[in-house]
Chains A and B, each alone.
Chain A
Amino acid sequence: MTESLESSPLTPVPGTTGQTGTVVRSTVLKRLFKNPLGILAIVILLAISLLAIFADVLAPFEENFANISKTLAAPDAVNILGTDSSGRDVWSRLLFGARLTLLSALLCAAVAIAIGLPAGLIAGYYAGKFEAVSNWVVSILMSLPGLIVLLTIRAAFGPSVWIAMIAFGVLISPSYFRLTRSAVQSVRNELYVDAARVSGLSDPRIITRHIFSVVRAPIIIQTAAIAGVAIAIQSGLEFLGLGDPAKATWGVMLSEGFKNVYLTPTLLFWPAFAMALTIGALVLLGNAIRDALEDGEKIKHRRKPAVKGTTTAPAAAAKRSARKTPAAVDAGTEHHLVKVTNLGVGYPQADGSLKKVVDDVSFHVDRGEILGIVGESGSGKSQTAFSILGLLPDTARIVAGSIQFDGNYTVAPGEELVSQERLSRLRGRRISYIPQEPMSNLDPAFTIGYQLVTPMVRVLGISKAEATKRAMKLLSDVGITYPDRTFKAYPHEVSGGMAQRVLIAGAISCEPDLIIADEPTTALDVTVQADVLDLIRDLQRSLGVGVILVTHNFGVVADLCDRVVVMQNGRLVEEGAVRDILRQPKELYTQTLLASMLEGKTPMSMLVSSQKEPVS
């Protein structure tokens, strides 16, 4: 038995379950070098840097050497890219321009980092007055239109590229400040930083050891972007003719080309191309680093996933049959409210393999019955529930089996996806859902009343006024004391227990036949949990609705369920009446789980004989 690393039941981390310890670690740098676009960007930037560094050697002419007798010449053996209106060599000027452009971009980024990074670290880590003051300075800097300020700076200090770039570095330093501050704020309260404080690590050590590593990569990505902007700004100033006329830059060359656009448009092409190439390489580099930072093993979106065990023929047949009405269900099974047969759910992986999260699971639920699906994290219990709702993530595939609801297939045998067309007619109307986390399952931007009324208007086709009346009744039915006040409230204005009651009210609002409750009390305090369990039991009895209750808690199972399905690692372990499963479990796994319960154990006794964490 393994615990998976899943943090949320619906986002399986690929390549982890059951593989603990065998995951190949690859560093960001390695992943960067695996990305062809990343390599391309690095090669381009390296080439341009080399050309710039060795411009003196590589350039056939001085940057301002003018051959007056050979102006606006076409490329030839001497001037490989031709000459400009003063007879200066375009290739040479391009090389010297590269040097100035790259240096100014570096200067700008260096100034911005030198100001923004430390300020952001201090403001993020210590907050307080320093943060308040820096925020104020930042808000001023960020409301200044950069170019206008640079024009003013130039008026004050003269046409120096370096002063302009230092000034622009100051102007753009808020971007580093904000980036650093928010990164630091996000880790400042991480428990591992607390643990370091408890160990007595000094603040500088905590910052360099635990916090700087978090900021490093975003800073590099930001620098790629900032360098691009700096190149654009610097060239723009030069283009306006506000730079040092004695220096060859791409901006000056553009301006020169633009003056001769009617005669030799190619003069425009080269500096524009150099600029786009450099900035483009920076953009690509930034993207590649970002991709490398995000999990390298991310599932790729594929239109046609290569699913093992599903040949193309049945898949194609399934597509055809999905358009028509699906086949009739097996005779004698129509009376089940829900019947899941040999269900398999999997996620196609980047390497073409398939990660199965549900494997060969069969069970049924009848009207008015409560079925519990019990299991630990990674058991596939939530995935099973969501395939009945048709709300699996886009990347999930039904790789085997079928699901029928009230005598009709929602997933017919051989179909790869849950038919949204069929299920959208059922969801809300006949099948409804109670989620685990009350707060995150309400849209924070809409009132509770709106979120109760709209589904009724859409699904039942009743008027808004009638839906409002029903919503009030529902709210009081789920035990809310002041329904009108809650109706008008926004989600953040109510407690977690109250929000869960609202979600239960929403689930029963359209009088469904089946409610799927995914760990409906796990996020609640024990005393609130007891109240919500009472509520679910009472409503289930009065409405006679079938319920699938997904939970990890045997106490909750004992409180509500008629029958129980036990799942482990995507497979069904055992199924039976609640008393049989809880009192005489047949399977070892169920026995182990029940033995782990603390209720009725001698305090301070060992619960498990083996001390080692089992390895699968």
Chain B
Amino acid sequence: MSTTENAPLLQVDNLVVEYPSKRFRAKPFRALTDITISIGRGETLGLVGESGSGKTTLGRAVLGLAPVTGGRILFEGQDISHATRRQRRTLSRDLQVVFQDPYTSLNPALEIGDILAEPLGVQGMEQSKAKTRVKELLDQVGLPSDALHRLPREFSGGQRQRVAIARALALSPKLIVCDEPVSALDLSTQARVLDLFLQIQQDTGVSYLFVSHDLDVVRHISHRVAVMYHGEIVEQGPAELITRDPEHPYTQRLLLASPVPDPDRQEQRRADRHRLLEIQRQQHEQADALA
């Protein structure tokens, strides 16, 4: 047991994910190449990248929703790369998920109470106990207790995302994979949901693997940040460093591409961006000339 105490909560070593091609004998599609990350207890690792960079696939691989073709995923020192459904059931007490789209991550036909009780029921919790727990959860995510017998469509996007967070919290997990949990939300709602994530971490000491395309969001919520590009991690380190003074050319471009809400500072940023692109272009040409 002592070894698992010191080991990180989640350890991903040289992970490779490949999807078999639909076409006969065609090469499989490689979604992730040689991914190595780790998350400690109570820590948030922010995962940033653009669409198709593989950041969502990494989260899904940890959850057992994407095929692991190479490397290992260790949770509390235990290899879960190819966990069976039975092992997953045990694992689900410690490892949970909040998805991007609050409209499709809740079954429209089920009442909120039933949705929240689902993970409890899988673990064999008694109904009366589960009921108490569900009420606790609603309170924890700031939803009224009369939400129990209502359907998802009666709630706004932000409220639904709170339901999804409550479902993830139901079994008091140690790690929650958050896949773009605020990108479908309006600005002011996003702020409140981010506050909720931070509050929950303060209260429970849960760890997050927080996937987002938005550097500002990732900077705000993460202790450490990993940047993904074309299925690889190009850079990772402390959030402040990576999101303010990145080394990798792609992260530099990403940072300067995001506009700031002030015309004059944005003009400055735009000029900086054009300068950066010009420098990178010249470097690229020099590299080509050398080769």
Contact = CB atoms under 8 A, between A and B. Distances in A.
Given A525-B51, A530-B273, A598-B216, A613 B143 contact: yes
B254 A199 contact: no
Given A192-B107, A199-B119, A213-B109, A553 B156 contact: no
Interface in B140-199: 142-143, 146, 150-151, 153-159, 162, 164, 167, 185-192, 194-196, 198-199
Contacts of A582: 261-263
Contacts of A612: 142
A377 B198 CA distance: 25
Interface in A511-543: 525-527, 529-530, 533-534
A1 interface: yes
A375 to B, nearest CB: 9
A196 B261 contact: no
A464 interface: no
Most buried by B among A21, A202, A601: A21
Given A7-B103, A526-B254, A530-B273, A198 B65 contact: yes
A191 B152 CA distance: 14
A10 B202 CA distance: 40
Interface residues of A, number: 67
Contact of B188 (A1, A23, A557): A1
A376 B156 contact: no
A608 B260 CA distance: 20
A57 interface: no
B171 to A, nearest CB: 8
Interface string A75-107: 000000000000000000000000000000000
A195 B99 contact: yes
A587 interface: no
Interface stretch (B10-18, B69-77, B217-225): B217-225
Contacts of B154: 20-21, 23, 25
B257 interface: yes
A558 B260 contact: yes
B187 A603 contact: no
A559 B270 CA distance: 8
A607 interface: yes
Interface in B28-70: 50-51, 60, 63-65
Contacts of B263: 558-559, 578-579, 582
B186 A25 contact: no
A215 B164 CA distance: 24
B235 interface: no
A332 interface: no
Most buried by B among A4, A25, A613: A613
Interface in A173-203: 190-192, 194-203
Given A200-B92, A526-B257, A613-B143, A2 B156 contact: yes
B188 A593 contact: yes
Given A195-B99, A606-B195, A527 B50 contact: yes
A579 B261 CA distance: 10
A594 interface: yes
A312 B240 CA distance: 64
A192 B104 contact: yes
A3 interface: yes
A331 interface: no
Given A21-B154, A198-B88, A593-B188, A530 B257 contact: yes
Contact of A526 (B142, B191, B213, B265): B213
Nearest to A24: B154
Contact of B91 (A2, A5, A200): A200
Interface string B80-124: 000001101111100111011101111101000001001100100
B133 interface: no
A210 interface: yes
A310 interface: no
Contacts of B63: 194, 197-198
B9 interface: no
Contact of B259 (A4, A191, A530, A600): A530
Interface of A: 1-5, 7, 20-21, 23, 25, 190-192, 194-203, 209-210, 213-214, 376-377, 525-527, 529-530, 533-534, 552-559, 578-579, 582-583, 592-601, 603-604, 606-608, 610-613
> Which 10 residue pairs across A and B have the least CB separation, nearest first?
A200-B89, A555-B259, A554-B261, A191-B105, A596-B191, A530-B257, A525-B50, A376-B186, A598-B216, A607-B191
Interface of B: 50-51, 60, 63-65, 85-86, 88-92, 95-97, 99-101, 103-107, 109, 115, 118-119, 122, 142-143, 146, 150-151, 153-159, 162, 164, 167, 185-192, 194-196, 198-199, 213-217, 219-222, 239-240, 253-254, 256-266, 270, 273
30 contacts: A3-B156, A191-B101, A192-B107, A192-B115, A194-B60, A194-B105, A195-B164, A197-B63, A198-B88, A202-B85, A203-B85, A210-B107, A376-B188, A525-B51, A525-B213, A526-B213, A530-B273, A533-B259, A556-B259, A558-B260, A558-B265, A579-B264, A582-B261, A596-B188, A598-B219, A599-B216, A599-B261, A601-B220, A604-B221, A613-B158
